[in-house]
């Protein structure tokens, strides 16, 4: 499904009306939109948010066995942990501390475990669980954590011509 403003608005309306499929699809599409560009992160007033979390939680509330919503939400929780662990000042400013990070870690672990119970070879859940297990002793997180998505950027230029492509894949 293409990510257009019309698509987002249509899905948001249906999800707000209680449609779990629309909530999951909206959450999935929002996971693919970037909100953390370098320009934003350099601005001290910028607050990184995860708007898809609300919709993925809504989908899981209606359908607790929705493996895709569970895996996506767990991946976002792991990203939140990583984001706030890297920037302690930002974490403290937004009410995040070791307790709230541990709560996110426990919730992500439970979601991944639920997914792996149903599908033991699920690649996103296996990667997410590996990340959580690597951080189980509260050691510093690796510089490049194994999230369930990958961003590929290709840039080239010559003279007055430049071209850039970004692909996000799972």
Tell me the pTM. Answer: 0.71
Q: What is the pLDDT of residue 124?
A: 86
Q: What is the pLDDT of residue 79?
A: 82
Dihedral of the alpha carbons of 93, 96, 98, 100, in degrees to the nearest 10: 170
Q: What is the pLDDT of residue 148?
A: 47
In angstroms, rounded to a whole number, what is the distance separating the alpha carbons of residues 122 and 131? 14
Q: What is the pLDDT of residue 36?
A: 56
Q: What is the pLDDT of residue 45?
A: 63
Question: SS3 helix, strand, coil % of the chain, rounded to 5?
Answer: 60, 10, 30
Q: What is the pLDDT of residue 21?
A: 95
Q: What is the pLDDT of residue 70?
A: 95
Query: Tokens for 87?
Result: 């920037």
pLDDT along the chain (170 residues), means of 10: 83 95 92 63 64 93 94 89 67 69 91 94 88 66 50 66 59
Q: What is the pLDDT of residue 63?
A: 95
Count other Cβ atoms within 10 Å, centred on residue 57.
14
């Amino acid at each position: 499904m293409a990510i257009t403003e019309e698509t987002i608005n249509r899905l948001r309306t249906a999800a707000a009306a209680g449609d779990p499929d629309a909530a999951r699809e909206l959450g999935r599409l929002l996971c693919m939109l970037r909100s953390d560009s370098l320009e934003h992160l350099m601005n001290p007033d910028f607050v990184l948010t995860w708007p898809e979390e609300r919709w993925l939680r809504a989908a899981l509330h209606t359908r607790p066995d929705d493996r895709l919503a569970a895996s996506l939400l767990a991946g976002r929780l792991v990203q939140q942990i990583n984001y706030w662990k890297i920037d302690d000042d930002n974490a403290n400013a937004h009410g995040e501390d070791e307790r709230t990070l541990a709560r996110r870690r426990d919730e992500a672990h439970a979601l991944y475990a639920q997914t792996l119970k149903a599908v033991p070879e699920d690649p996103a859940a296996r990667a997410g669980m590996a990340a959580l297990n690597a951080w189980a002793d509260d050691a510093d997180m690796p510089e490049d954590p194994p999230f369930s998505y990958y961003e590929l950027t290709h840039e080239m230029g010559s003279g007055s011509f430049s071209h850039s492509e970004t692909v996000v894949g799972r």
